[in-house]
Amino acid sequence: MYETSYHRASSVDEAAALFAKGSDSKYLAGGHTLIPVMKQRLAAPSDVIDLARIKDLVGIEASSDTLTIKAATTYFDIMHSADVKRSIPAIAYLTSVLGDPAVRHRGTIGGSIANNDPAADFPAALLALGATVKTNKRSISADDFFKGLFTTALEDGEIITQVAFPVPAKAGYAKMRHPASRFALTGVFVARTKAGDVRVAATGASENGVMRVPAIEAALKANWSAAALDSIKISAGGLLTDIHGSAAYRANLIKVMAQRAVAEAG
């Protein structure tokens, strides 16, 4: 690793100020992406600003309409939160199949969505639930937040502070896990709003990262059941082909995982 200056910020304002002072600063959340790429010398930040100890970035709040998860809240705390299990149990389930115990104890929701790995789980939850990402500068809808592979709407130095999820009538998540990394070969999050609208998002499948699936949304809005998807065919166009599976394989996985997610949602 190259020489770097480590800072443990105590507030969001302090973290932003430290970031601005560095010539090539990076924020550190759970560290599961930044630290490995630094070890491989693929990144050499002048300053690393640790956000994990900022109290205002940790915690979960729930009302009848909204579940709010602050950015530095770990997957472990999300998975075991009574508020999450009561408001949106599909999010608690998603964290339980995310990574391994080491990842779940250190990884954070803010770090996940800021990195926007194309096979990460939480981007699918945000997109399907129509969540709002709140930062130290503004609020960004999930539809506008994810811009492509490892790319988001965040400006340089902007800090995610929390994510607000509208509480749905029903929601479910299912994924085919890579046996080693536990990332999603394909994962699908389905949600039906209290107003009756349906949103469906897939991760791990597209060449451009997390994506909505309009064909499945339309079918489930007409008939919320796994059987409603029996005749649906997902186009392989724009889907990922790699050593783990072809685009056609992932197209089929989107359908199968969506059916399992609907069954999970009930």
CATH code of the domain covering residue 95: 3.30.465.10
Q: pLDDT tens digits, the chain, 266 residues: what are they?
A: 578 999 999 999 999 999 999 999 999 999 888 888 888 888 889 999 999 999 999 999 999 999 999 999 999 999 999 999 999 999 999 999 998 899 999 999 999 999 999 999 999 999 999 999 999 999 999 999 999 999 999 999 999 999 999 999 999 999 999 888 888 999 999 999 999 999 999 999 999 999 999 999 999 999 999 999 999 999 999 999 999 999 999 999 999 999 999 999 98
CA 136-163-121 angle, to 5 degrees, is 125
Looking at the fold, whether 190 and 155 belong to one and the same domain comes out as no
Q: Which domain holds residue 143?
A: 58-166
DSSP letter for 227, please: G
Q: Are 7 and 48 in contact (CB under 8 A)?
A: yes
> Per the structure, how many domains does the chain have?
3
Query: E strands, the chain, where?
Result: 5-8, 25-28, 47-50, 60-62, 66-70, 132-135, 139-141, 146-148, 151-152, 160-166, 170-177, 184-192, 198-203, 211-212
The enclosing domain of 201 has a CATH number of 3.30.390.50
Instruction: Provide the residue count of the chain.
Output: 266
pTM to 2 decimal places: 0.95
Considering the domain architecture, whether residues 189 and 259 belong to the same structural domain is answered as: yes
